[in-house]
Structure 1
């Protein structure tokens, strides 16, 4: 049997979750194996790991240096998305490594949060609360974004039970279509991405419903509808959903300030979240902002008199409100350790402090000392090196170059984003905006082409852009410390990949 790359290329594509690239992972691993039953075999690629695809094994990443991943086949791939918008400092960092070693050798590697606190968790929480200008009051640390959303949903429920008078009937959550808040059953149930929900639908809570996203490219009545008219229409839709459910039954509204993987870096229209805040306040519901992908400096929020050194997406003037609960992840720890967080504002914490005095939720690895120490060092580096300013500067350049290079491409429908968080949406017909047939697997195949020589770059593919099933886009979300030459290279390479892909596609039609 040939190499994985040869097999995948011969097949023409991987499945919807696989990544097919040239190389020989099987030979590399078998050479290092001890021939036990858990190793890969040359005769039938077979791993003991439950990879994203059971049909194709991904190439082995052997090291990460700067913005590059070094693979087992000798390839050096530029990671233009930080994995899933995670590696905000790149693949390696001496300061973070030293901090982790110190935590292991001089601190504690693990202790149960039910019985003990650690300096790492205390300092990280203090740092994050200060970054919100003390609009948030307490931080709860988990190991993944899905877990952070679960915590936020539970906190919203407990808040309504403990306030005076209590409102136990508030068990309903309103989210947005084509949203994604995580993969656990609670988080998946609060998200509106049809394809990701599909097979688990019978298991999901029926206490969540969904309204339209704030997605100007596909949601506006072009060209006559103004931003303010569009916001008013969305506000009416949200109000109508509150009334349909029963305003006194809604626990919270949940949304991403800038939608990430599900829609491809879609910012809200100015005034939208102020409208959402008005409705939540009017009906006594909490507002949860999911910043797992777009937060921690990723979108380069602009400074203002209120937030001169902003970190969070909601601190950008275009959002203009303060959430009751927020979630963080990905860029929080930069991929050096698995960590995410749920932050609660003063109003929520005050209700609990006057009630039971505790959050009825906990996990074994909650506030893990190593994870907290890694995240603390990442956040200190972002602050001390003023990387959010670099995100704004390089993000502005990235957006301009993408528009210059690709906005007129016949299969590029829309380019949008903010900071170092940009999406490119592909369409079959530019005039009508009609998406490609999902069977064509456009976004994944563009990613796969980019992974091959001579491009050697990783772009993040996404689907369901149009309606949760149809629609293709890619994300570009590089590290915060990139330079202008990196931006130029990313755009030139991305444009070359897109031109090559659609040129080949047209020839084959």
Structure 2
């Protein structure tokens, strides 16, 4: 394979095999018509085997998806068994043991604090469903509240790629092309990003109070009786590079929502299902959401699946109202996807992998900070569980980012993919304000060992150090 030149359209990273002008031959509408992605020919455990002979350590499990690694035999067998029972049926008229079993598993994982599961095929679909469910909830209330049509989300956030979920997102580069088509009933407040957001000398308590007041002010500005929900990621993934909320943040935000009767929607598509050291990220935040979106780690990449978990408050309103959510999709509750996800969740529970996430996450944190915290171009190392990000800066004292034209995050990814490094690190840009700033993200499989973590930390360190040395 020729030396790589990485490109990014806001949704992914591509390796250019040719000169960037000559299209490669393919019947697929790839994410770029000019550059060819690496071709995977085999996978097992933590490794991807490429057509060029490389064996790549998958340090991000795709986009924090393959939580059990690749090729798990139990999951493959569960899907095969489901094929013998039923591959597809329409969820409007039929039910399956796979869908019921997965829903039971998921609700049990909340210790009964949430009431029902709604299963779809992607995170974007889950967020669309959450938006519609929140709106319909206020029509099911007694008395109905039809004026509630607005949402408040956060800057530097990402909630999906469909027009509704992209409207909810604050990710500037991913919104840019479609801005004229996006919904105008969504406003945003500041993200909880202490590295850039906390003022000099400000305590965590004062920082939280300021953000809570900002949210309160936004409710007042748009009209508190018009807001359906406040929407946030417990740990911000792609947009900010694994930034967890500071202690006390979510209880303060929920208090504002409760004050005005709005719902709390937590987007755990990337950070949930064990990724940050508890099965659900909100279990370490001191709140229970009214609606939670889940995805990625739900099915481990074995089948496309995502969903919503819905609180008792919302379900009870529907029971007393129409009794029906006015929304449905062809592949909702797909039997094969549900069977795969159920087996993934059973493995996570039975093998106590969330405990391993917590233990190995502390190990990874220690290694990364020991090896890279003093690097002049490493501004911040942050994360939780097995969800870690490194933000890069031109000036460490002033926290000044690189010029986007420098392509720092893409360049580090490119460095990692070279033979001799052989590691896949997930790059991101716009970290500071949606326009400038660079980070990489690490999200290894839940069943990694100490040796895997040492390899990840050592190779990431070598990749970063060598990249900046060669600049």
Instruction: Pick the TM interval, shorter chain.
Output: over 0.9
Task: Give 2:334's match in structure 1, choosing from 368, 373, 392.
Answer: 368
Q: 1:96 to 1:169 in 2, by over 3 A?
A: same
Distance 1:51 1:426 in 2: 29
Task: Give 1:474's match in structure 2, choosing from 390, 415, 440.
Answer: 440
Instruction: Tell whether the 8 Å contact from 2:16 to 2:35 is kept in structure 1 after alignment.
Output: no
Distance 1:359 1:445 in 2: 46
* 1:118 aligned residue: 96
Answer yes or no: is 1:266 the counterpart of 2:261: no
Answer yes or no: is 1:298 the counterpart of 2:266: no
Answer yes or no: is 1:211 the counterpart of 2:185: no
- 1:469-505, Cα deviation, whole Å (9 max, x unpaired): 1111000000000000110110100010101110111
Unaligned runs of at least 5 residues, structure 2: none
Q: CA deviation at 1:19?
A: 2.5
- 1:144-172, Cα deviation, whole Å (9 max, x unpaired): 00000000000000000110010000000
Answer yes or no: is 1:254 the counterpart of 2:220: no
Task: Give 1:74's match in structure 2, choosing from 53, 57, 61.
Answer: 53
- 1:309-358, Cα deviation, whole Å (9 max, x unpaired): xx100001xx1000000000000000000000111101100001111101
Task: Give the secondary-structure state (helix, strand or coil) at the position aligned to 2:15.
Answer: coil
Q: CA deviation at 1:92?
A: 1.0
Instruction: Tell whether the 8 Å contact from 2:234 to 2:268 is kept in structure 1 after alignment.
Output: yes
* 1:314 aligned residue: 282
Q: CA deviation at 1:14?
A: 3.6
- 1:393-436, Cα deviation, whole Å (9 max, x unpaired): 00000001100000010110000000000000011111111111
Unaligned runs of at least 5 residues, structure 1: 25-42, 302-310
Distance 1:198 1:21 in 2: 24
Instruction: Tell whether the 8 Å contact from 1:21 to 1:448 is kept in structure 2 after alignment.
Output: no
* 1:187 aligned residue: 165
Answer yes or no: is 1:229 the counterpart of 2:210: no
Shift >6 Å, 4+ stretches: none
- 1:425-465, Cα deviation, whole Å (9 max, x unpaired): 01111111111111111111111110111000100001111
Answer yes or no: is 1:175 the counterpart of 2:175: no
Answer yes or no: is 1:148 the counterpart of 2:126: yes
Instruction: Tell whether the 8 Å contact from 1:21 to 1:452 is kept in structure 2 after alignment.
Output: no
Distance 2:33 2:376 in 1: 35
Q: CA deviation at 1:18?
A: 3.9
Answer yes or no: is 1:398 the counterpart of 2:377: no
Map 1:46-125; keep pairs closer than 5 Å: 46-105=25-84, 107-125=85-103
- TM-score, with length taken from structure 1: 0.90
Q: 1:362 to 1:72 in 2, by over 3 A?
A: same
Task: Give the secondary-structure state (helix, strand or coil) at the position aligned to 2:328.
Answer: coil
Distance 1:465 1:182 in 2: 17
Task: Give the secondary-structure state (helix, strand or coil) at the position aligned to 2:14.
Answer: coil
Map 1:23-34; keep pairs closer than 5 Å: none
Task: Give the secondary-structure state (helix, strand or coil) at the position aligned to 2:307.
Answer: strand
Distance 1:402 1:239 in 2: 37
Distance 1:469 1:203 in 2: 20
Task: Give the secondary-structure state (helix, strand or coil) at the position aligned to 2:293.
Answer: strand
Task: Give 1:328's match in structure 2, choosing from 285, 294, 308.
Answer: 294
Task: Give 1:418's match in structure 2, choosing from 380, 384, 409.
Answer: 384
Task: Give the secondary-structure state (helix, strand or coil) at the position aligned to 1:123.
Answer: helix
Task: Give 2:15's match in structure 1, choosing from 4, 14, 20.
Answer: 20
- 1:197-250, Cα deviation, whole Å (9 max, x unpaired): 11111101100000000000000012x111000000101100000000000000
Answer yes or no: is 1:158 the counterpart of 2:158: no
* 1:241 aligned residue: 218
Q: CA deviation at 1:50?
A: 1.5
Instruction: Tell whether the 8 Å contact from 1:324 to 1:345 is kept in structure 2 after alignment.
Output: yes
Distance 2:14 2:466 in 1: 18
Distance 1:191 1:66 in 2: 33
Task: Give 2:265's match in structure 1, choosing from 278, 284, 288.
Answer: 288
Instruction: Tell whether the 8 Å contact from 1:18 to 1:56 is kept in structure 2 after alignment.
Output: no
Q: CA deviation at 1:44?
A: 5.2
Distance 1:162 1:59 in 2: 49
Task: Give the secondary-structure state (helix, strand or coil) at the position aligned to 1:314.
Answer: helix
Instruction: Tell whether the 8 Å contact from 2:90 to 2:330 is kept in structure 1 after alignment.
Output: yes
Distance 1:442 1:203 in 2: 31
* 2:396 aligned residue: 430
Aligned residues: 466
* 1:39 aligned residue: none
Instruction: Tell whether the 8 Å contact from 2:23 to 2:33 is kept in structure 1 after alignment.
Output: no
* 1:133 aligned residue: 111
Task: Give the secondary-structure state (helix, strand or coil) at the position aligned to 1:423.
Answer: strand
- TM-score, with length taken from structure 2: 0.97
Task: Give 2:406's match in structure 1, choosing from 419, 426, 440.
Answer: 440
Task: Give the secondary-structure state (helix, strand or coil) at the position aligned to 1:174.
Answer: strand
